[in-house]
Copies of this chain bind each other. A is one copy, B any other.
Amino acid sequence: MEKHARGAGIKEVAARAGVSAATVSRALSGNGRVSEATRRKVQQAADELGFVISYNASSLASGRSRNIGIVMPSVGRWYFSQVLEGAASALIEAGYDLTLYNTSDGPGHRESVLKEMLRRKRLDAVITVALRLTEEELGQLRAVDKPIVAIGGPLPETPTVRVDEFSISALATRHLISLGHRRIAHIGGGEELERDFRMGSTRQDGYLHAMAEAGIEVQPQWLASSEFSVAGGRTAAKRLLADPDTRVTGIFCAADEIAVGTLLAARELGLRVPEDLSVIGIDDHELAEVFGLTTIGQDPAGQGAAAVAAVLSLLQNRAPAPDLLHGYYPTEFVVRSSTAVPRTPAESDANA
């Protein structure tokens, strides 16, 4: 009774099935050969007793935890919540637990997360999202000798699910250029993005590259930045659009939330989109469709699932997953109604 209340253990199952605990373990885990008849007997006994394995004991004995850690700087922000959703689904599907480490509370916390929590041996592998690690931190993680897969971070020699920031940014910019825009601004992710993804510059670089390629000289006031939010984008765009000698006809925003903010700012300033202003973003955020935003979709949930798939395969055969070392996660160019040929082509020849 007492025993029952705390759940039947492997011994009880063994007794009921008339076999040894070792056999129960083999039958239930699938490791080691067991006759079909025995397996069935054991399974039935386990079912009858409502046996639930103790992961702690199992992990301690076997060294495997069926538990993956995910480290990200913020669950509350859209991108991360989507990644998490995708990863969580994939993990639950595979029968793995997911331990979440939200490092949002400043670097102090992040450090303790990395140094302690990840090494407490309860994890089979780690997925980092948009995390920059120092050489030392990376070394520590590697010392534990557990698979690490990154999403969107700059971890050297770590299998990484990433989109080609530079190319999609150049693509977005070229889209505006090809429509005839020449006065094109860029609202980047600013420090936040830079810190988390080390790609604020990469997206801006793609923009600068496309502009240079087209022989357009970028004016300094065309470069703005915003935090990743509609409010931030709105503020940045208002500032940008209010400046009389900035008068751009197109804006490439580093994220859809910023782009939506830009659309709102334009509206408030009496600018029509796309007649007076074309706007393009990155993400294919759910608001993008609502606002008819042209964007480059990057499917964060898919990225989360892809990282899980990579981790699981590493866990099985430690294959180096070459595509994650060199390839890029696919993106999708989605043309909607926020971009069009500029209304005043006369402007497009003025270069300063």
Partner of A56, one of B89, B116, B121, B234: B121
Contact among B105, B119, B229, B290 with A92 in the assembled complex (CB-CB below 8 Å): B105
Contact with B along A51-85 (1 / 0, CB 8 A): 01111110110000101000000111110111011
The answer to whether the Cβ of A289 comes within 8 Å of any Cβ in the partner chain is: yes
Known: A60-B57, A121-B55, A289-B231. A92 touches B102 (CB 8 A): yes
Binary per-residue interface labels of chain A (106-145) against chain B in the complex, 1 for a CB within 8 Å, 0 otherwise: 0001000100110111100000000000000000000111
A97: which B residues are within 8 A, CB to CB?
A: 99, 117, 120, 122
CA separation between A347 and B182, bound complex, in Å? 51
Q: A85 near B104 (CB under 8 angstroms)?
A: yes
* Minimal beta-carbon separation of A183 from chain B (angstroms): 26
Please, which residue of chain B has its CB at the minimum distance from the CB of A121?
A: B54
Q: Contact between B120 and A55 (Cβ–Cβ < 8 Å)?
A: yes
User: How many copies altogether?
Assistant: 2
A interface, size bucket: 35 or more
Contact, CB under 8 Å: A88 / B75: yes
Measured CB to CB, the closest approach of chain B to A84, in angstroms, equals 5
B60 near A290: Cβ-Cβ < 8 Å: no
A155 at the interface (CB under 8 A from B): no
Report yes or no: B230 in contact with A287, Cβ–Cβ below 8 A.
Answer: yes
A6 vs B119: C-alpha distance when bound (angstroms)? 10
A100 contacts the other chain (CB 8 A):
yes
Nearest CB on B from A142, distance (A): 11
Residue with the highest number of chain B CB atoms closer than 10 Å, among A84, A88, A289? A88
A345 to chain B, nearest CB (A): 29
Residues of B within 8 A of A7 (CB): 119, 121, 144
* Residues of chain B lying within 8 A (CB to CB) of residue A113: 92
Cβ of A98 under 8 Å from chain B: yes
A101 nearest in chain B by CB position: B92
Nearest-neighbour CB distance to chain B for A268, whole angstroms, equals 11
Query: Known interface pairs A100-B100, A122-B56. Does A286 touch B229 (Cβ–Cβ under 8 Å)?
Result: yes
**Which residues of the other chain, B, contact A17 by a CB distance below 8 angstroms?**
none
- B residues in contact with A80, CB < 8 Å: 81
Q: For residue A287, which residues in chain B have a CB less than 8 angstroms away from its CB?
A: 230
Question: Smallest Cβ distance from A295 to chain B, in angstroms?
Answer: 15
* Interface membership of A258, Cβ < 8 A: no
Q: Contact between A234 and B290 (Cβ–Cβ < 8 Å)?
A: yes
**How near does chain B come to A336, taking the closest CB pair, in angstroms?**
13
Leading 10 A-B pairs by shortest Cβ distance: A76-B85, A88-B102, A81-B81, A56-B60, A52-B119, A56-B59, A55-B120, A55-B122, A75-B85, A54-B121
Question: Which residues in A have some Cβ–Cβ distance to B below 8 Å?
Answer: 5-7, 52-57, 59-60, 65, 67, 74-78, 80-82, 84-85, 88-89, 92-93, 97-105, 109, 113, 116-117, 119-122, 143-145, 229-231, 234, 261, 264, 286-287, 289-290, 301
